[in-house]
Structures are given as structure tokens and as C-alpha cells.
Amino acid sequence: MAKILIIEDEKEIADLEKDYLEMNNFEVEIYDRGDTGLEAAENNDYDLIVLDLMLPGVDGFDICRKVRAEKDIPIIMVSAKKDDIDKIRGLGLGADDYMTKPFSPGELVARVKAHIAQYQRLVGAGNKKQENDIIEIRGVKIDKTARRVFIDGEEKIFTTKEFDLLTFLAENPNKVYTKDDLFRTIWGMESVGDIATVTVHIKKIREKLGDVSGDSKYIETIWGVGYRFKI
């Protein structure tokens, strides 16, 4: 079981992250101070760190720098301020990912999984070459490991949710899902918003796939019911 270290001084956020990660079978430890968190990171083996930026004791900048000097485990930095995220990106501290609070716990889980998979592949690469997890359907290639999509060999950029939605449908072809199903699956119960979001995302995905409404090659609308990925 992969072990995650959360260094976060806002108890509610840390607990929410922990709950979601545990639901997804991760083992989680929380430290609410920078100094104790850094000590834990240096002295234990974790598979990933979710690191808040503003912390008592030692801040996230220093923790990231110090951990990175010794270990190459994935670090996801989180901050309430978008400006701070831009700043840390610019500093090149070596974090693997950045998230601005508030984010949906579902998105955190998705990113944690992706980074752990990527890291394990890197670590395992010395022993055996592992292939990326790829779905390929009639010219659409979805690289689940790298979270990249190629249409007839050309890469198209999908947002996190567009990617999750497309992947979910492509992994479950020929099954019809209602907008409600899709909203719950991709956005999660905790999300604010409504099922119109699904329609908007499907539209964007179709545009990127070059799918024409009414004569869809990939995502078909089942009127009054929902959508399915044709195979």
C-alpha cells in the first residue's frame, strides 16, 4: 500500500485529503507543522508528499528544497494563493505538481495516483521496462499513465476533467451513462455545480476528437438517456 505524507496546518483540509486518499487505499500520515513534517519526510519512506506552502515552523519552500535534495519522491505543492503557485513554479524547487486550494479531493486523488504510477515506473525502470497504460480505439489513443491524448497521432490537450470523462467512457464502451452518473463519477458527490457541466465537457471532448454531433464516431448521444462511447 502506497504511503502518503500530508504536511498541512489546516486540520479540515488535511482530514478531507486523508479521508479521500484512504478511501482509495492509500496509507496517510498528517503533520500539521513544517518542522515536524520535514523531519518525518527525511526519516521515513513515503511514496508521495502533499505539501502545503504556508506552514508554521518551516515553510513549504524549504521543505520542498530539502526533501528534493535527498529524495526524488513525487511532491504535490498546494497553496491557497494562485500567485504563490506561479512563484514556486518559477523557483524551480522541483515539485512535481501544484494545486490551488480549494480543489476537489477527487482531483487530488487522481493526481496522486498518476504521480505514484509515474514514479513507480521510473523506479521500476531499472529492473523491468513497464509499458504505459494505453487505451486505443479507432485513432484515439489515451495514455492513462502520462495522461495524454492523441488523435490520429496528433496530441490534443485535454483538461483534467475532460481527460477523466473521456477515459471513463472509453474504458466502458457501449454502455450508456446518464449525465447524473457521469457527474457523480467524474466530479464526485462533493462537487458544486450541476449536470450541465457534463454537457459542456462532452461538447469540448467531441470538438477535440473531431466528432460531429448527429454523426458521432466516438461519443454518441442517446437522446433522453445520456452518452456512450461507441466501439
**Alpha carbon of 130 to those of 57, 61, 115, 119, 184: distances in Å?**
40, 33, 15, 12, 32
Q: Which is nearer to Ca ion, 54 or 99 (CB)?
A: 54
Q: Which is nearer to Ca ion, 17 or 52 (CB)?
A: 52
Number of residue whose CB is nearest Ca ion: 54
Q: Which is nearer to Ca ion, 108 or 165 (CB)?
A: 108
- The least distance separating Ca ion from the CB of residue 120, rounded to whole angstroms, comes to 29
Stretch that binds Ca ion, among 2-10, 130-138, 169-177, 211-219 (CB under 5 A): 2-10
Residues in binding contact with Ca ion, number by CB under 5 A: 3
Q: Which is nearer to Ca ion, 52 or 220 (CB)?
A: 52
- The least distance separating Ca ion from the CB of residue 71, rounded to whole angstroms, comes to 22
**Alpha carbon of 111 to those of 50, 194, 217, 231: distances in Å?**
11, 23, 29, 28
- The least distance separating Ca ion from the CB of residue 86, rounded to whole angstroms, comes to 17
Task: For residue 9, state whether it binds Ca ion (rule: CB under 5 A).
Answer: yes
What percent helix, strand, coil does the chain show, rounded to 5?
Answer: 45, 20, 35
Phi-psi region of 210 (alpha: psi -120 to 50; beta: other; left: phi over 0): left
CA–CA distance, 142 with 131 (Å, rounded to integer): 13
How does DSSP classify residue 45?
-
Contact track, Ca ion, 44-83, x by CB under 5 A: --------x-x-----------------------------
Dihedrals phi, psi of 135, to nearest 5 degrees: -110, 130
Q: Which is nearer to Ca ion, 80 or 151 (CB)?
A: 80
Site residues for Ca ion per CB under 5 A: 9, 52, 54
